Amino acid sequence: MARIAIPRRGWVLVCDGAKALVLQNEGDAELVNLKLVEVLEHDGAAAHTLGTDRPGRVHQSHGDSRSAVEMVDLHDAAETAFLKRIADELGGLLQARQARSLVVVAPPKALGVLRDEFPHFLRTIVTHELGKDLVGLPIPQIERHLAGG
């Protein structure tokens, strides 16, 4: 993996559908020293507890036929709502702090949601995206991944 340069005072978002770490580089581009600024967590319930009803049925417009309606994955919808909240809160935080660069690390599916939901300001300062789930790792291991190690 190639090294990702994070300038001094550059920002890093490491997240998935349930947790987000907002980090800032207190070191320089050569020796990254990420410090935790904020943790956002989604207290999501298990998918089986979110919706316990059977799938709905639809009557056809002609005849006596009925067919099942596909259930919406409520767990997936809750994760998407959490990612939208991250995009909004991060946009406000980084605009207030006049951020100039942002590295986003998230699983590919979460990256897609974030890309769509980031306000214009955040889209302009994103310097790198990394499609990996690193949110469960300690900060020194996240630094090693970003350094290409």
pLDDT the model gives residue 58: 57
User: CA neighbours within 13 Å on the CB side: how many for 71?
Assistant: 12
Phi–psi pair at 30, nearest 5 degrees: -85, -45
Q: What is the pLDDT of residues 63-107, one digit of tens each?
A: 666 565 565 667 788 899 999 999 999 999 999 999 999 999 999
**Angle between helical axes of 74-96 and 108-117 (0-180°, round to 10):** 50
User: What pLDDT digit, counting tens, does each position of 108-127 carry?
Assistant: 999 999 999 999 999 999 99
Q: How far is residue 90 CA from its own chain's centroid? A: 11
| Torsion sign (Cα): 82, 87, 91, 94 | positive
Structure tokens of 148? 């290409």
Checking if the pLDDT of 48 tops 60, the result is no
Strands 11-15 and 19-25: antiparallel
Residue 10 has pLDDT above 90, yes or no: yes
Share of residues in the chain with pLDDT > 90 (%): 67
Q: By C-alpha distance, which of 117, 146, 118 is closest to 134?
A: 146
- Of 16 and 2, more confident: 16
Residue 39, classed as helix, strand or coil, is strand
Report the distance separating Cα 23 and Cα 34, nearest Å.
6
What is residue 72's predicted lDDT score, i.e. its pLDDT? Answer: 62
Mean of the per-residue pLDDT values of the chain:
86
Phi-psi sector, 9: left (phi>0), alpha (psi -120 to 50), beta? left
